[in-house]
Structure 1
Amino acid sequence: MAEADRLLDELPLHTATNRLRKQWPPEWTTLVLQQCRLRRKATAKFPFADRMFFTPVGLEQATDWWVAEYKARSIPAEAHVADFCCGIGGDLLGIARHATAIGVDRSPLSLLLAEANHDACVEAANGEFALFDCTFHGGTVESFPHGFDCWHMDPDRRPQNRRTTRLELHEPGIDVIDAVRNRCPDGLLKLAPAADIPAAWEPLAECEWIGRRRECRQLLVRFGKLARHPGRRCATILIDDGTPGPARTRTIADLPDLDGAIVTSECGDYLYTPDPAIIAARLVDALAAELGLARVDTFSAYLTGPLISADPAVQRFRIEAVLPFRPKKIRPVLAERRIGRLEIKTWGAPVDIETLRKQLRVPGNEAGVLLITRKGKSLQAFLARRVDEN
């Protein structure tokens, strides 16, 4: 692997491939090159990617290191955790660093990679592995032969090779998840951010949308003792520097006494875009109340108000001009300010960003941000500059 990695750094792909085929059979060369490419791609998710093994689908579906570590913090150290549908072991790496874990999957290849990744990344031998159909087809939850007092599950959202957010179409589905809950009430369920949970779960579970690096990574449904506040909705943003240490967190929770959206007819000097996890959790109004801000419109997630201190929950922009959304009106303003490096952001606006970028192209080296959103029945554009670096 090291030799292949070196050749990929030094040579074009076809040249590196030809050299490797002089040393190995073609099928070996293909597998090694695939692993090299996947490891490079995986560095955004895993600080130890150069030690790990992946499949393309396994890497895409795996929970990243920092999210997995954060989730595992809530699991008691003495727990025996069944990680159902463990895949290549993204969540298992976090769980096994905090408790005793058993990785469970119906795919022999996924289980093999999960075990190899555990052995490469977890110092303590806290992982076991079991080949088992987590959908329990032809059996019951009681047929699972291993004991556990806590569980994590990542159902397959593409059972028919087509992504879905409908929980009843996942594998395992709602019936199996409820059966696992009946056997062991303390668990963590990983879902897509847009998934809707059954109404019967809402008063029992805590729903937490987890974000990292301005992306909502997943919806975590907490059950039993792992639900810190049953019935609560919250968003947690992870802040890390890319090293293996635990991430810092910023959490926004729902406010039961909040009376509707906070909307202003007058914009302040600054505009704020909430983290996607906050938007997914429908907590924009709770954030606005906490920070003393207001929505620019009932149907917009953008907030406005005076300058506030840096906060991971928002990106800050200083407003320089408020304009109706008409490219012919906006372009002269950009030209006057020599804004040739324009970032375009939208919320609730049916705008083709690439087409608009061509329409607004002007000479100049200044940087600016154009934020477009609904305001009443029309669209409004805010020309602004970033207060923060990113």
Structure 2
Amino acid sequence: MRFLASPPGAALLEEAAALEGDMLARLVALRRHWPADLASAAIELLDLRARARPRFARAESLFLTRAGLEQASGDAPAAWRAARVPEGARILDLCCGIGGDSSALASRGPVFAFDLDPVHAWCAAANASACDALHPVHAACADVTRLRLRGDFAVFDPSRRPAGRRVRDAGDYSPPLAFALEVQRAVPRVVVKASPALPDPALDSLGGRVEFVSHRGECKEAVVWLGEWGPRARRSAAILPAGLVLEGRGTPPPALRPPGEWLLEPDSAVIRAGLVAEAAEVLDAAQMDGRIAYLTSDHPANSPLAASWRILEALPFGVSRIRSRLRALGSRAVAVKRRGAPIEPEELLARLPREGDRSLVVVVTRVAGRLSALLCEAGP
């Protein structure tokens, strides 16, 4: 990796980027002029940079590993956290990975970043140096459980892939998620990053406020805030890039009603945070079934809180019935969505008409407990 950051390494990357063909063809071409290990490293880095583009504005200049990219925060979530840090704070980035948070945090104060993986620690330093942050990032390879921690604020992002495999138990994180409580004894304000797939009891065990963060519709992170800062509510959802926050208020369940003119699908962070009732109140919407997160209304959401789909017809579920109605409407199915329905979307889509003047989405869900199909078109 260090070689790729040198002038000869930059020349290798430039040559590799200019090649066409699949990975094998490019490797063969590079190996005519470069050692095999360097050629492979260059091709892999270019592939990782391409994967990083949707999340990082500076993807073309980043140094990445596959494991580091899989866990890294993109620009938007990292900037969202950093904006809550007071200017001039002394900041710790524990288990910093490739430095996605470090680079953003350096806009607020000096960052001291640590990772057990020496390659990741090097990547964090290299990536921070390329971002022209206001404050320095000091990165080092270290076991954070053995450090004497001092600072005003800490990000703790334990590895969710120790030994190269994803783990689903907070105790199997490296270090375990509970180490965050040790960090808080030394640092007054701590933010803990975890998988949104962790069960609520594991997240609540830290005693903080839990925020679920989505980016472009996908729930990316569960963030636990420890100390007197961050969200006010015990549960909240942050929707990025809109920057919209929905806080839990103990809102009663929404009213139930048949499908209206619009189907509203709450953002994934709203659903994961269990804030469908709060979203329904804001959107003036109701549920069609008390166990299903879909909402319905007589107007579109016009909000990042939910996507909107105009309901053309609602009918009892049945493949032949759906097929017949699509043909009668002169429409083709372009996608199948489901919630609370024991069907495979791709299998159902393959059995529906693919020709017609209108493109419709078939939503299979439950209405008052009955399996139903909603024929919808995308809203504004």
The residue number in structure 1 matching 2:17 is: 5
Matched, 1:184 2:178: no
Matched, 1:276 2:265: no
Higher mean displacement: 282-291 or 144-153 = 144-153
Task: Please list, as runs of the form range in 1=range in 2, the aligned pairs for 1:224-263 lying within 5 A after superposition.
Answer: 224-229=227-232, 231-239=233-241, 248-256=242-250, 258-259=251-252, 261-263=253-255
Question: Quick one: distance in 2 between partners of 1:153 and 1:331?
Answer: 51
Q: Is residue 335–residue 362 contact of structure 1 (8 Å, CA) maintained in 2?
A: no
The residue number in structure 2 matching 1:244 is: none
Matched, 1:45 2:61: no
List per-residue Cα deviations over 1:214-242 (Å, max 9, x = no partner).
1001011111122341x521101012xxx
Q: Residue 177 of structure 1 aligns to which amino acid in structure 2?
A: A
Secondary structure, counterpart of 2:217 in structure 1 = coil
Matched, 1:383 2:356: no
Q: Residue 361 of structure 1 aligns to which amino acid in structure 2?
A: P
Question: Quick one: distance in 1 between partners of 2:306 and 2:178?
Answer: 38
List per-residue Cα deviations over 1:135-161 (Å, max 9, x = no partner).
x2xx5xxxx245312100111223354
The residue number in structure 2 matching 1:344 is: 336
The residue number in structure 2 matching 1:69 is: 79
Query: Aligned-pair distance for 1:179?
Result: 1.1
Q: Is residue 331–residue 362 contact of structure 1 (8 Å, CA) maintained in 2?
A: no
Q: Is residue 149–residue 186 contact of structure 2 (8 Å, CA) maintained in 1?
A: no
Q: Is residue 341–residue 365 contact of structure 1 (8 Å, CA) maintained in 2?
A: no
Q: Residue 380 of structure 1 aligns to which amino acid in structure 2?
A: S
Work out the percentage of aligned pairs sharing the same amino acid. 29
Secondary structure, counterpart of 2:304 in structure 1 = coil
Question: Quick one: distance in 2 between partners of 1:281 and 1:179?
Answer: 26
Distance 1:329-1:198 versus aligned 2 partners, 3 A rule? closer
Question: Quick one: distance in 2 between partners of 1:201 and 1:354?
Answer: 36
Question: Quick one: distance in 2 between partners of 1:53 and 1:199?
Answer: 33
Question: Quick one: distance in 2 between partners of 1:382 and 1:215?
Answer: 23
Give the root-mean-square deviation of aligned CA atoms. 2.0
The residue number in structure 1 matching 2:29 is: 19
The residue number in structure 1 matching 2:197 is: 194
The residue number in structure 2 matching 1:242 is: none
Q: Residue 155 of structure 1 aligns to which amino acid in structure 2?
A: P
Query: Aligned-pair distance for 1:361?
Result: 2.6
Query: Aligned-pair distance for 1:204?
Result: 4.9
Q: Residue 370 of structure 1 aligns to which amino acid in structure 2?
A: V
Q: Is residue 344–residue 371 contact of structure 1 (8 Å, CA) maintained in 2?
A: yes
Query: Aligned-pair distance for 1:174?
Result: 4.3
Query: Aligned-pair distance for 1:200?
Result: 9.8
Q: Is residue 206–residue 221 contact of structure 1 (8 Å, CA) maintained in 2?
A: yes
Q: 1:332 aligns with which of 324, 327, 332?
A: 324
The answer for unaligned runs of 5 or more in structure 1 is 240-247
Q: 2:281 aligns with which of 269, 289, 301?
A: 289
The residue number in structure 1 matching 2:120 is: 110
Secondary structure, counterpart of 2:228 in structure 1 = helix
Q: Residue 373 of structure 1 aligns to which amino acid in structure 2?
A: T
Query: Aligned-pair distance for 1:341?
Result: 4.2
Q: Is residue 150–residue 186 contact of structure 2 (8 Å, CA) maintained in 1?
A: no
Query: Aligned-pair distance for 1:203?
Result: 9.5
Question: Quick one: distance in 1 between partners of 2:238 and 2:191?
Answer: 15
Q: Using structure 2 for the length normalisation, give the TM-score.
A: 0.91
Distance 1:110-1:100 versus aligned 2 partners, 3 A rule? same
Higher mean displacement: 20-29 or 195-204 = 195-204
Q: Is residue 97–residue 122 contact of structure 1 (8 Å, CA) maintained in 2?
A: no
List per-residue Cα deviations over 1:315-366 (Å, max 9, x = no partner).
1111110011100111011112222242111111111111111211342242
Q: Is residue 193–residue 222 contact of structure 2 (8 Å, CA) maintained in 1?
A: yes
The residue number in structure 1 matching 2:108 is: 98
The residue number in structure 2 matching 1:310 is: 302
Q: Is residue 170–residue 202 contact of structure 2 (8 Å, CA) maintained in 1?
A: no
Q: Using structure 1 for the length normalisation, give the TM-score.
A: 0.89
Q: 1:81 aligns with which of 87, 91, 107?
A: 91
Instruction: State the number of aligned residues.
Output: 368
List per-residue Cα deviations over 1:26-57 (Å, max 9, x = no partner).
11111111111111111011110111111111
Distance 1:252-1:60 versus aligned 2 partners, 3 A rule? same
Distance 1:12-1:151 versus aligned 2 partners, 3 A rule? closer
Higher mean displacement: 314-323 or 363-372 = 363-372
Higher mean displacement: 117-126 or 93-102 = 117-126
Secondary structure, counterpart of 2:19 in structure 1 = helix
The residue number in structure 2 matching 1:148 is: 151
The answer for unaligned runs of 5 or more in structure 2 is 1-12
Q: 2:143 aligns with which of 104, 111, 133?
A: 133
Q: Is residue 102–residue 127 contact of structure 1 (8 Å, CA) maintained in 2?
A: yes
Distance 1:350-1:172 versus aligned 2 partners, 3 A rule? same
Q: Is residue 190–residue 221 contact of structure 1 (8 Å, CA) maintained in 2?
A: yes
